[in-house]
């Protein structure tokens, strides 16, 4: 395009932009040189620099949508909105923030956080969802990421409860997403999800059930009390394979924070093992990082269980 043409037809610039936000590269492609960009973005000029390499085609306060568009353009092709900006794109307008706009990019890409944009590299990029012309993460990912960034329990509770109450995401979906996410900032959303789930024993248990469903082993029951032949309570393991007398325990550190908690865990396992129950222990991070190893361990112990007499215990009730 001949240099200067854009100056006589301002619709060219507007048409090349996304909601009035445009990259310097896009401006160059329609003949707007660096000098013209600099003059128009100078104090009192009709444009402004929104982010490095990103121009806003007016000089008023940027809207939340313009900031979100700018964040995606700044973080480049594979970036998606998440957390509060993502929730706003999904229609949760009251969670829209005039503060940070969070974006996710693939782990092998490099882009630094700047100004109001917080860039998070992740090995677990979500599916891209188009919402109002914006690329955003799935709603469940946005909700959990927003919860991880919330510093007050009441705020986290209000946020996640609204997502669930609208019926767009279930408590189980939130729990699985949280179990698969990074551990940074998960304390508050973990507590809220357990509340919403009516006192679920552990967020990691939902991920454990999903992993187990791919194992090909016989059906497992979860959180059912076991008793001995005299009807005495033995334990309530996270998972139980009744045909061989195998207990599966998910070792969540949050239940071992005190000496008393740790002692209770040891005594419970000792009771089971004394009765001949095979106890398989799994750490929550293994469910996320190496589910194949978890399944292999369960399979090996199940086979071991078939090679010895079944212990004289039963499901209670």
Residue stretches of the chain with pLDDT short of 70: 1-10, 97-98, 197-204, 252-262, 317
Report the alpha-carbon distance of residue 125 to residue 104 in Å, rounded.
7
**281 - beta bridge partners?**
249
Q: What is the pLDDT of residue 260?
A: 65
In this prediction the pTM is 0.67
**What are the residues whose beta carbons fall under 8 Å from the beta carbon of 311, sequence distance 6 or more?**
245, 275, 276, 277
User: How many other CB atoms are found less than 10 A from the CB of residue 251?
Assistant: 15
**What are the residues whose beta carbons fall under 8 Å from the beta carbon of 209, sequence distance 6 or more?**
222, 239
- Chain segment 182-240, per-residue pLDDT in tens: 778 888 998 888 777 654 445 667 778 888 999 999 999 988 899 999 999 999 998 99
What percent of the chain is predicted at pLDDT more than 90?
Answer: 61
Q: What is the pLDDT of residue 256?
A: 44
Q: What is the pLDDT of residue 199?
A: 43
Query: Any idea where the domains of the chain sit in the sequence?
Result: 5-56, 64-200, 216-315
């Amino acid at each position: 395009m001949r240099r200067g043409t854009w100056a006589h037809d301002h619709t060219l610039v507007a048409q090349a932009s996304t909601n009035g936000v445009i990259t310097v590269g896009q401006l160059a492609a329609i003949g707007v040189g660096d000098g013209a960009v600099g003059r128009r973005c100078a104090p009192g000029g009709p444009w402004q620099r929104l982010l490095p390499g990103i121009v806003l085609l007016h000089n008023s306060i940027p809207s939340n949508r313009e900031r979100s568009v700018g964040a995606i353009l700044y973080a480049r092709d594979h970036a998606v909105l998440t957390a509060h900006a993502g929730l706003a794109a999904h229609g949760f307008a009251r969670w829209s923030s005039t503060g940070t706009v969070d974006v996710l990019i693939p782990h092998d890409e490099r882009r630094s956080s700047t100004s109001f944009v917080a860039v998070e590299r992740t090995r677990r990029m979500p599916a891209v969802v188009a919402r109002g012309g914006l690329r955003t993460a799935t709603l469940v990912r946005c909700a959990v990421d927003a919860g991880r960034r919330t510093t007050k329990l009441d705020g986290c509770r209000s946020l996640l409860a609204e997502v669930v109450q609208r019926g767009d995401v279930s408590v189980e979906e939130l729990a699985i997403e949280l179990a698969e996410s990074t551990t940074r900032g998960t304390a508050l959303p973990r507590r809220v999800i357990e509340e919403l789930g009516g006192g679920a024993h552990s967020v990691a248990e939902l991920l454990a059930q999903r992993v187990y469903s791919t194992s090909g082993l016989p059906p497992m029951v979860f959180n059912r009390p076991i008793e001995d032949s005299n009807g005495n309570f033995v334990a309530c393991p996270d998972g139980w394979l009744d045909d061989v007398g195998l207990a599966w325990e998910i070792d969540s550190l949050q239940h071992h924070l005190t000496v008393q908690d740790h002692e209770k865990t040891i005594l419970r396992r000792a009771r089971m093992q004394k009765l001949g129950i095979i106890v398989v222990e799994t750490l929550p991070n293994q469910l996320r990082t190496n589910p194949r190893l978890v399944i292999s361990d369960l399979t090996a112990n199940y086979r071991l269980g078939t090679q010895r007499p079944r212990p004289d215990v039963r499901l209670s009730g």
